[in-house]
Amino acid sequence: MTTAYVGFGSNLGDRRFYIREALRLLDEVPGIKVKRVAPLYRTAPVGLTEQEWFFNTVAEIDTSLSPHALLAALLAVEARLGRVRTRRWGPRTIDLDILLYGDLRLHTPDLTVPHPRLTERAFAVVPLADLAPEMILPGGAKARDLAAALAAGQEISRVEEDLDGCVRSKK
């Protein structure tokens, strides 16, 4: 099994529902076990800023899937939840990204791991630091230190909500 970290974001409709449901659906995929989920954060949109704010979190998973099979599973969950890719950085019911996949470094036309903009985005690093504050991220910074630096320059606030209850243990 490989430990991976998946980012979740939603800014259309019932954002809490979409994130909770994506966690539940992901945990039901054979070869994936959602281990822990960071708190939920409310964040300003990036890129296309004239849209609703996002809710974001990060889940730590164990997976026996290859990186490409994990990506396919994430895309299938997005599709089940009505994700339509119409414009880059546009509004979405749910967005799922592989942030880290063990120690793997991969660059293919359809997948780059670690996520190419991970260390630039408070909406990914801040919840990741809740799960793994001592983790050394690409570029050499500790997750908690980079989270503090990014949070100081980007609009992000914690939403008091426990998402660990969204997934149930597989038998």
Question: Catalytic pick from 15, 20, 92, 121?
Answer: 92
Domain range for 46: 2-166
For this structure, is 27 an active site residue?
no
pLDDT greater than 70 at residue 171: no
Inform me whether the pLDDT recorded for 79 exceeds 80: yes
Task: Tell me if residue 92 is catalytic.
Answer: yes
Count of structural domains, the chain: 1
pLDDT in tens, 22-55: 999 999 999 999 999 999 999 888 776 677 888 9
**For residue 169, is pLDDT > 50?**
no
Which residue in this structure is represented by tokens 């994130």? 19
Say which range, 8-22, 26-40, 79-93, has the weakest mean pLDDT.
79-93
**pLDDT of 112-153, one tens digit each?**
999 999 999 999 999 999 999 999 999 999 999 999 999 997
Going by C-beta distance under 8 Å and a sequence separation of 6 or more, which residues neighbour residue 133?
A: 142, 143, 144, 147
State the DSSP H helix or E strand holding residue 75, giving kind and residue range, or none if neither.
Answer: helix 67-80
Q: Which of 27, 83, 121, 130 is catalytic?
A: 83
Confidence class for position 161, pLDDT limits 50, 70, 90:
low
Question: Exactly one of 15, 20, 27, 95 is catalytic; which is it?
Answer: 95
How does strand 40-43 pair with strand 106-108?
Answer: unpaired
The residue from 97, 103, 121, 145 that is catalytic is: 97
Q: Find the CATH number of the domain harbouring 11.
A: 3.30.70.560
Decide if 142 is inside a domain: yes
Q: Is residue 104 part of a domain?
A: yes
Is residue 161, in this structure, part of any structural domain at all?
Answer: yes
* Residue 23 lies inside a defined structural domain of this protein: yes
**DSSP letter (8 states) at residue 77:** H
Query: What rounded mean pLDDT belongs to the chain?
Result: 89
Is residue 32 assigned to a domain?
Answer: yes
Phi-psi region of 17 (alpha: psi -120 to 50; beta: other; left: phi over 0): alpha
Burial 119-153 (b: 16+ CB within 10 A, else e): bebbbbbbbbbbbbeebebeeebebbebbeebbee
Residue 110 annotated among the catalytic residues of the structure: no
